């Protein structure tokens, strides 16, 4: 933890920059708890039914209030961030949806050019990355333009272009729904793994992330090794890329390769890249010599789910009813309708069954399911 190493990264209560909340709900403080609110507009897939109760939380006290309400009414709760990684069933959610909009970004200078950035869970992720890059702080630039909020970043350990957010996270503050108190988790306590953390596992379900602190650097080095990034700079003959160049590169690569969530219903990668054994990889390579794979951890292999979906099933760019895969990326779903969560789910199941049938590999959804899909 930077807090321990430098005695810095203290608990910051005054925020110097407030991210603007987004959404289409009533902002009247007296109307914090609303009923039967359609959730589709709060998700980037733009599908799914209503929330029985919908509560906008801008402070830790709001979170406590929403949890108290759920408990008093004996209904479940669900915390929604940017809605970019969730598929909500058409019947909606029978409990309290807590829209986490705890805002603010604060910076604290430590020693040796290190800076601790603390952001509220409801801050739009890319607002934080943009702000950090503009301040000349290294660490988050490869994660530019990832959709969603700061609070979701540690939960699923977001990653892109050779960087995982776990390498920048110093600590995570969370509300403990059992005790009603704040808990602070060090990086190690977060139990990060590929697209996974303690917060996604049963032990972590009782915590709601309220703030995340990142350890950033004024004098950093850029990670340009990822294939798309290296090609981008080589093509433009940029030998000494700056921090701003790096962000521009990622924004450009993502914009060209992924659909624009402002105009198209999508949730980015729908499945995780499967992790298999070396034996399994060798078996697949015998049948599919072009297979794209990467070493993973001590003895694992990460297989490109996009490659499997694209080349084994030839699903890339295929449309089935109101759902399809994006023409430029097979792992990315596109939704052409609304209130058709079932259709999206069934489409995913067809792809999953096809990949399983041909390769024996089970694809896990990266997108979280909420509600009833039986």
Residues that bind ligand EPU (CB under 6 A): 160-161, 227-228, 268-269, 272-273, 292, 304, 306-307, 310, 316, 329-331, 366
Q: Considering only CA atoms, which of 98, 109, 87, 153 is closest in space to residue 341?
A: 87
Minimum Å distance from CB 304 to ligand EPU? 4
133 to each of 10, 136, 213, 215, how far by Cα in Å? Answer: 22, 5, 16, 13
Closer Cβ to ligand EPU, 101 or 310, answer by number: 310
* Nearest Cα residue to 371 out of 145, 78, 61, 36: 78
Cβ proximity to ligand EPU, 249 vs 331, nearer residue: 331
Q: Which is nearer to ligand EPU, 102 or 258 (CB)?
A: 258
Minimum distance of ligand EPU from residue 93's CB (angstroms): 22
> Minimum Å distance from CB 273 to ligand EPU?
5
Rounded Cα distance between 161 and 145, Å, is: 12
C-beta nearest to ligand EPU: residue: 268
Q: Is residue 178 annotated as part of the catalytic site, yes or no?
A: no
User: 208 - beta bridge partners?
Assistant: 175
Phi then psi dihedrals of residue 334, to 5 deg: -125, 130
Question: Of the listed 89, 168, 197, 269, which one is catalytic?
Answer: 269
**Minimum separation from the CB atom of position 308 to ligand EPU (A):** 8
DSSP state of 193: B
52-69: string of b/e by CB count within 10 Å (b at 16+)? bbbbbbbebebbbbbbeb
Catalytic residue among 164, 350, 366, 368: 366
Note if 195 is an active site residue. Answer: yes
Residue of 195, 211, 254, 352 marked catalytic: 195
Whether the CB-CB separation of 270 and 247 falls below 8 Å is answered with no
Task: Indicate the residue among 55 and 161 with the shorter CB distance to ligand EPU.
Answer: 161
Residue 16: both structure tokens together: 């110097």
Catalytic residue flag (residue 168)? no
Cα–Cα dist 274/293, whole Å: 10
Cβ of residue 140: shortest distance to ligand EPU, in angstroms? 14
Distance CA 204, CA 227 (A): 34
Q: Which is nearer to ligand EPU, 99 or 316 (CB)?
A: 316
Active-site positions? 195, 269, 366
């Amino acid at each position: 933890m930077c807090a321990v190493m430098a005695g810095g990264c203290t608990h910051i209560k005054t925020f110097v920059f407030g991210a603007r909340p987004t959404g289409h709900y009533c902002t009247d403080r007296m109307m914090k708890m609303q009923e039967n609110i359609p959730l589709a507009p709060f998700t980037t897939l733009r599908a799914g039914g209503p929330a029985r109760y919908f509560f906008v939380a801008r402070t830790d006290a709001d979170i406590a209030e929403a949890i108290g309400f759920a408990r008093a009414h004996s209904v479940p709760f669900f915390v929604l961030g940017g809605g970019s990684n969730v598929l909500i069933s058409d019947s909606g959610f029978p409990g309290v949806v807590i829209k986490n909009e705890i805002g603010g970004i604060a910076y604290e200078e430590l020693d040796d050019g290190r800076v601790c950035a603390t952001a509220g869970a409801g801050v739009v992720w890319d607002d934080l990355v943009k702000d950090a890059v503009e301040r000349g702080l290294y660490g988050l630039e490869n994660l530019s333009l990832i959709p969603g909020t700061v609070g979701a970043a540690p939960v699923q350990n977001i990653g892109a272009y050779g960087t995982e957010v776990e390498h920048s996270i110093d600590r995570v503050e969370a509300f403990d729904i059992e005790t009603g108190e704040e808990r602070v988790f060090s990086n190690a306590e977060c139990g990060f793994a590929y697209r996974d953390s303690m917060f996604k596992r049963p032990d972590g379900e009782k915590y709601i992330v309220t703030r995340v602190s990142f350890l950033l650097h004024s004098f950093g080095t850029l990670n340009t090794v990822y294939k798309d990034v290296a090609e981008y700079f080589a093509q433009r003959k940029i030998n000494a890329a700056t921090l701003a160049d790096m962000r521009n590169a990622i924004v450009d690569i993502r914009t060209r390769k992924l659909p624009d969530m402002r105009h198209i219903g999508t949730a980015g990668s729908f499945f995780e890249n499967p992790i298999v054994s070396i034996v399994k990889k060798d078996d697949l390579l015998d049948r599919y010599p072009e297979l794209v794979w990467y070493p993973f951890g001590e003895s694992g292999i990460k297989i490109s789910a996009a490659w499997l979906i694209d080349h084994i099933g030839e699903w890339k760019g295929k449309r089935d009813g109101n759902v399809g895969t994006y023409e430029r990326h097979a792992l990315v779903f596109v939704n052409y309708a609304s209130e058709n969560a079932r259709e999206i789910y069934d489409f995913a199941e067809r792809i999953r069954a096809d990949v399983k049938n041909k390769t024996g590999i089970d694809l896990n959804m990266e997108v979280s399911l909420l509600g009833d899909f039986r």
